[in-house]
Amino acid sequence: MTQILSAAPVRKKITKDLKSECVYLKENGVVPYLKVLLVGNNPSSVIYTNSKKKYCEKIGAKCDIISLNENVHAKQFLDIIENINNDSDVHGCIIQLPLPPHLAHLDIGKLVSSQKDIDGFHPENLYALMSNRDLENHFISCTPKGIVSLLTEYGFQIAGKKVTIIGRSMIVGKPLACLFTNLDATVTLCHSKTHDLHEISKSCDILVSAVGIPNLIDESFLSDKKNQIVIDVGMNSDSSGNLCGDVDFEKVKDLVYAITPVPGGVGPMTIISLMQNLLQASKKRLSL
Amino acid sequence: MTQILSAAPVRKKITKDLKSECVYLKENGVVPYLKVLLVGNNPSSVIYTNSKKKYCEKIGAKCDIISLNENVHAKQFLDIIENINNDSDVHGCIIQLPLPPHLAHLDIGKLVSSQKDIDGFHPENLYALMSNRDLENHFISCTPKGIVSLLTEYGFQIAGKKVTIIGRSMIVGKPLACLFTNLDATVTLCHSKTHDLHEISKSCDILVSAVGIPNLIDESFLSDKKNQIVIDVGMNSDSSGNLCGDVDFEKVKDLVYAITPVPGGVGPMTIISLMQNLLQASKKRLSL
């Protein structure tokens, strides 16, 4: 019987911890405070942004969504981030992606200061992850962190495992490759130019798809031993406009040992990691 | 007949280019200037440092070796680097590794300013490499850059190839994985905790060993198709005290398509890359 790696029980457990930590922080005069920058009104972005705000409030943290017009001038956008970077009441700041084309030239990873970059996109944070050094004082990218939390909470060992990651983005594929390597897994990072993608996928213990192509992963990517764990990072729309992953869940679910659902798998884990990072940033304020 | 990937012809060609660039820079008032910090008198470090100085002088650049006592205080060491960072006549600075144990706690990658870090160890430079963004204004780590130069100069294609790297250091394994990925190769990063190392090595097109274990790689790591390229990054001493690589050259040389020798392969390419980075840093001065 295939194990479905739902985020729900993990979320329940971690939410309890996060609530307690928020109470402790508030008793010590620190109210965890997140600012989210939302440019334009992309429907998915609005939904994701609201989820983050709702979860912040659930655990007792403060969250403001700053909604900017789709045509906001780059200078105004940068000024707002600069103000947040300088505002000592704010502990975390994230910029909801994607940004409109006229802001695409900005190197998003460098805009929010490394101390408030709870998305883990800043060079300082990625360097800590890559070098596996001083991670307690830096932020690990949320989706990679959430994937590892999910596997760990379900009791899976990571050291020694062969991991195939499909997708080499700076948000998922590359930092996840670093994180799994730090945890002693052996990672193969695949992408659109990879030959033998099917063979490489079949030979791994843990297969992660983060490419954004609906239902790409079917039975042809899997070993016939039914011993693989499949992690679906995709957040796509199918032809009917419904949320679907990169994995064809129905075709695959009986051929693997364990699989994450979409929705209800990696997505919620990403938000949980964001909140963990927000509280990590807030705790720093206690020692100042 | 196995192709021996000697650095010599590549070095000859690139040295000519570097000399011309030095002449041009000097005509425009910039004398490329490298400072090398050497702590203690580890015999290998002294040899490597002198090679770098000699090659600098060969192409017409200036190089000072700053030799510090093995017991130098951390503060004095850091002050010297700070002075170099602030000296506008100096274009590049490198710290010869390894450092003595009492300096091992320093995060070496962050000491030399990113603009003078021609070793490519600084977070800003590694971020550029990882994100494959703005590389013309950043420095690519020398050993990875040298390996890719060698393969390219010998006419090998990298895109689409399967690459196995053994060793996950911040100096070779990790930045080389990023560089090969940027060039559309599919990389598997292996290390001491990797299971199936033999199988993973056998199935690749390009095998890179950067672990520092004399003669580790023998015929058991190779495909029987004799179609692999083997890159030996090892700089080890054998039982007689002679320089040897990670690869057992005699056992392997007739079983592969191409192989780098030790000495005369990756080592000289690393110094060439360092000089290319020094001139890249010096050229920035022209536009100031």
- Residue B263: is the preceding peptide bond cis (ω within 30°)? yes
Q: Tens digits of per-residue pLDDT, B75-108?
A: 999 999 999 999 999 999 999 999 999 998 999 9
User: How far does chain A reach from its first CA to its final CA, in angstroms?
Assistant: 51
**Catalytic annotation on B12?**
no
CA pair distance A274, A95, nearest whole angstrom: 12
Residue among A107, A124, A133 whose CB faces B133 most closely: A107
- pLDDT at site B54: 97
A104 — phi, psi (to 5°)? -70, -20
CATH number of the domain at A142-265, please? 3.40.50.720
For residues B248 and B262, give the distance between their C-alpha atoms in angstroms, rounded to a whole number.
Answer: 10
B216-219: long-range pairs with CB below 8 Å, 24+ = B216/B246, B216/B247, B216/B248, B217/B166, B217/B246, B217/B247, B217/B248, B217/B252, B218/B248, B218/B251, B218/B252, B219/B251, B219/B252, B219/B255
**Inter-helix orientation angle A8-27/A266-286, to 10°:** 20
The pLDDT value recorded for residue A288 is: 63
Q: Which of B35, B115, B119, B161 is catalytic?
A: B119
Q: What is the pLDDT of residues B235-285, one digit of tens each?
A: 998 888 889 999 999 999 999 999 999 999 999 999 999 999 999 999 999
Chains A & B: contacts with CB separation below 8 Å = 83
Q: Does residue B262 sit in helix, strand or coil? A: coil
* CB-based contact B119:B141 (threshold 8 Å): yes
Q: How confident is the model at residue B288 (pLDDT cuts 50, 70, 90)?
A: low
Please give the Cα distance from A8 to A12 (Å, whole number): 6
The C-alpha atoms of residue B219 and residue B251 are separated, in whole angstroms, by 6
- Containing B93, the helix (H) or strand (E) segment is strand B92-95
> Which B residues in the span 102-141 are in contact with A, Cβ-Cβ below 8 Å?
107, 109, 123-124, 126-127, 130-131, 133-134
Write down how long chain A is: 288
Say if domain B142-267 classifies as CATH 3.40.50.720: yes
Q: Whole-prediction pTM value?
A: 0.97
The predicted model gives B214-232 an average pLDDT of 98
First to last CA, chain B: 51
Which residue ranges does chain B devote to CATH 3.40.50.10860? 29-114
Please report residues of A whose CB lies closer than 8 A to that of B124: 123
B176-188 pLDDT, tens digit each: 999 999 999 999 9
Q: Longest Cα pair distance anywhere in chain B, in angstroms?
A: 56
Q: Is B161 a catalytic residue?
A: no
Task: Spell out which residues of chain A touch residue B188, defining contact as CB-CB under 8 Å.
Answer: 186-188
How much is the pLDDT for B287? 74
> CATH class for domain A30-114?
alpha beta
| Distance (Å, whole) CA A272 – CA A7 | 10
Element (H, E) at A21: helix A8-27
Confidence tier at B216 by pLDDT (50, 70, 90): very high
Between CA B170 and CA B280 the distance in angstroms is 22
* Rounded alpha-carbon distances, angstroms, from residue B230 to A223, B66, B249, B258: 29, 36, 10, 6
What is d(CA B126, CA A119) in angstroms, rounded to the nearest whole number?
Answer: 19
Mean pLDDT confidence for B130-134: 96
ipTM of the complex: 0.96
Ranges in chain A annotated CATH 3.40.50.720: 142-265
> Where are the alpha helices (H) located in B28-92, listed in sequence order?
43-59, 74-86
Asked if the Cβ–Cβ distance from B107 to A194 is below 8 Å, we say no
What does DSSP say about strands B186-190 and A186-190: parallel, antiparallel, or unpaired?
A: antiparallel
Q: Lay out the sheet containing A62-68: strands in order across.
A: A62-68, A33-39, A92-95
User: Closest partner residue to A160 among B131, B159, B195, by Cβ?
Assistant: B195
Give the active site residue among B35, B52, B116, B145. B52
Looking at residue A217, its pLDDT comes to 98
DSSP β-bridge partners for residue A186: A162
CA distance A178 to A176: 5
**Given an 8 Å threshold on Cβ–Cβ distance, is B126 in contact with A124?**
no
How crowded is the C-beta side of B79, counted as CA atoms within 13 Å? Answer: 6
Residues of chain A with pLDDT under 70: 288
Active site includes B119?
Answer: yes
Class of domain B29-114: alpha beta
Q: Residues spanned by CATH 3.40.50.10860 within chain A?
A: 30-114
Residue A6's pLDDT is: 98
**Amino acid identity of B99?**
L
pLDDT at residue number A86: 98
Who's near A265: CB < 8 A, 6+ residues apart? A5, A6, A7, A150, A231, A232, A245
Phi-psi group of B103: left, alpha or beta (phi > 0 → left; psi -120 to 50 → alpha; rest → beta):
alpha
Angle at CA of residue B267, ends B266 and B268, nearest 5°: 95
The pLDDT tens digits of the residues spanning B40-70 come to 999 989 999 999 999 999 999 999 999 999 9
Interface test mutation site (partner B, options A188, A199, A206, max chain B beta carbons within 10 A): A188
Quote the minimal CA–CA distance from A189 to chain B in Å: 6
Tell me how long chain B is.
Answer: 288
